[in-house]
Chains A and B, each alone.
Chain A
Amino acid sequence: KQEVTQIPAALSVPEGENLVLNCSFTDSAIYNLQWFRQDPGKGLTSLLLIQSSQREQTSGRLNASLDKSSGRSTLYIAASQPGDSATYLCAPSNFGNEKLTFGTGTRLTIIP
């Protein structure tokens, strides 16, 4: 059974800093891995998807890396802004049915 751990559970940083969010998973036989953002009381917004054959994916100030063999992914946020404050969730998916397994997320607060 896939288990996903996200550390830290919460993080507060001053505006402008670069930061890294960590995700680890126990079953490396994944199809892909997605990072999502969730604002309070809202749904999930997909940020980045990394296929199992890829090492990293970039979108604007966001960069996600994947090390499938070690069961780890990181989300790098450059030049953080108050609008980045949200909960960030990582979720690897299984082959065959693409079921996602979620961690409990990292709640990020950017201090102006």
Chain B
Amino acid sequence: NAGVTQTPKFRVLKTGQSMTLLCAQDMNHEYMYWYRQDPGMGLRLIHYSVGEGTTAKGEVPDGYNVSRLKKQNFLLGLESAAPSQTSVYFCASSYLIGYTFGSGTRLTVV
């Protein structure tokens, strides 16, 4: 089925460890996004990309890096995880006709 696929679905990290979340879409969408969702805060935009090779900061970019080397993939990296980065991370893609979201990655930093 066409859509947005996120890996992994769950992860527990120790403080200071690094990891990369992968997002892949097969709809040929130009735009891709990473959001985090925290209780009572709604979804907040971390970084986004308007095309292959481009990235831009969103509302809460600190502590995260991203790359969009291929149009279909958008990677979110945590270089040194902190407990404040415990959250549910959602990737999404869009182009003119609305958003499609992935099913999320639940990350716990201990």
Contact = CB atoms under 8 A, between A and B. Distances in A.
Residue of B44, B56, B97, B98 with most partner-chain A CB within 10 A:
B98
B74 interface: no
Contacts of B97: 49
A93 B35 CA distance: 14
Interface string B33-58: 10100001111110010100000101
A97 B99 contact: no
A104 B42 contact: yes
Contact of A97 (B43, B50, B90, B101): B50
Contacts, number: 56
A104 B44 CA distance: 10
A87 B110 CA distance: 28
A99 B92 CA distance: 10
Interface stretch (A10-18, A39-47, A61-69): A39-47
B73 interface: no
Contact of A44 (B44, B96, B101): B101
B interface residue count range (under 10 / 10 to 19 / 20 to 34 / 35 or more): 20 to 34
A99 B102 CA distance: 16
26 contacts: A32-B98, A34-B99, A43-B103, A43-B104, A44-B90, A44-B92, A44-B99, A45-B101, A46-B101, A89-B43, A91-B43, A91-B99, A93-B94, A97-B31, A98-B94, A98-B99, A99-B48, A99-B58, A100-B33, A100-B92, A102-B35, A102-B42, A102-B43, A103-B42, A104-B42, A105-B42
Interface of A: 32, 34, 36, 42-46, 49, 89, 91, 93, 97-105
